């Protein structure tokens, strides 16, 4: 069941990424990229890496995609710009997609059987509880020094941005 769900989420990620490449409307392209980022976060969850999934959603699907949408609104792209593109870019896209297809077929040809050995797998590798335990026990000093450095950067940015004290 987990393998079927993983392949379903992976297919959704690949399909939305392909739609991103071939979409005519830039807004729909960015929305399909957001779907791709959420699908990748779903794959991280299925691989028991919850922390990476949360970071994927917060950083990429949240902040970076909002930035892309903001830039898209600021650029105000018109349809006249799309007709100026030549056939060279389309040829390069088809060529690289063909190379990718050859690589994927080579990988599938090299796979002998579908069995995965799960005897020596640590079930708690990707859990945030273990990451927090490691971060606040063994690496507490570098963590606190990094937080002081970030706090100093924030205070410096406020002081530079403020006109008068």
Nearest in space to 143 (alpha carbons), one of 153, 133, 157: 133
Domains of the chain: total: 2
Higher pLDDT, 57 or 110: 57
pLDDT (tens digit per residue) in 114-129: 555 556 656 666 677 7
Q: What is the pLDDT of residues 12-64, one digit of tens each?
A: 999 999 999 888 887 788 888 888 999 999 998 888 888 888 888 888 878 87
> Is the CB of residue 41 less than 8 Å from the CB of residue 56?
yes
Choosing from 77, 103, 118, the residue where a domain stops is: 77
Task: Using the predicted structure, report yes or no on whether residue 111 has a pLDDT greater than 80.
Answer: no
In which domain, by residue range, is 41 found?
1-77
Report the pLDDT value the prediction gives residue 115, as an integer from 0 to 100: 56
31 in a structural domain = yes
Residue 56 covered by a domain: yes
- Say if 139 falls within a structural domain: yes
In this prediction, residue 85 carries a pLDDT of: 61
Instruction: Judge whether 67 lies within some domain.
Output: yes
């Amino acid at each position: 069941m987990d393998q079927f769900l993983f392949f379903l989420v992976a297919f959704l990620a690949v399909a939305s990424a392909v739609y991103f490449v071939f979409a005519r409307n830039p807004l729909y392209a960015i929305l399909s990229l957001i779907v791709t980022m959420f699908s990748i976060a779903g794959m991280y969850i299925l691989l028991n890496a919850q922390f990476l999934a949360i970071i994927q959603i917060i950083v990429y699907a949240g902040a970076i995609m909002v930035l892309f949408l903001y830039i898209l609104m600021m650029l105000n792209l018109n349809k006249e710009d799309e007709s100026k593109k030549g056939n060279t870019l389309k040829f390069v896209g088809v060529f690289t997609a063909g190379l990718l297809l050859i690589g994927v077929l080579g990988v599938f040809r090299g796979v002998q059987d579908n069995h995965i050995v799960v005897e020596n797998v640590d079930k708690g590798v990707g859990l945030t509880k273990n990451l927090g335990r490691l971060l606040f026990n063994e690496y507490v000093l570098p963590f606190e020094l990094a937080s002081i450095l970030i706090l100093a950067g924030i205070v410096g940015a406020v002081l530079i941005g403020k006109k008068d004290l």
